[in-house]
Amino acid sequence: MRLTAVFARNLRLLRSRAGLTQEQLADLAGLDRNYVGKLEREENSPTLARLEAIALALQIEVELLISRELPRKSNGN
């Protein structure tokens, strides 16, 4: 799987796990909602600064956004 596809999949999953809409994530990360949608559809790739902003907004480590294998959601989350 291409890294852009891995990122898009992880972004959708991690945003969903956080209980956020695209708009909410965009607001928290200081991004446009349309940009977040394009990231999730593999129509755009983030800069390192935007990758970091997304990770901060999701309260996760940046590495999770590009990890080929995400940890399963724990029952406590």
Task: Determine the pLDDT at residue 72.
Answer: 79
- Summarised one tens digit per residue, pLDDT across range 62-76 is 999 999 988 777 544
Q: CA of 18: how far to CAs of 1, 37, 48, in Å? A: 24, 16, 21
Domains of the chain: 3-66 (1.10.260.40)
- Summarised one tens digit per residue, pLDDT across range 9-52 is 999 999 999 999 999 999 999 999 999 999 999 999 999 999 99
pTM for the model stands at: 0.89
Query: Which residue, chain included where needed, has tokens 């996760």?
Result: 60
Burial 36-52 (b: 16+ CB within 10 A, else e): bebbbeeeeebeeebbe
Task: Determine the pLDDT at residue 18.
Answer: 97
Task: Determine the pLDDT at residue 73.
Answer: 72
Torsion angle of the four alpha carbons 74, 18, 7, 59, in this order, in degrees rounded to the nearest 10: -90
Task: Determine the pLDDT at residue 77.
Answer: 45
Task: Determine the pLDDT at residue 71.
Answer: 74
Query: Which residue, chain included where needed, has tokens 């209980």?
Result: 19
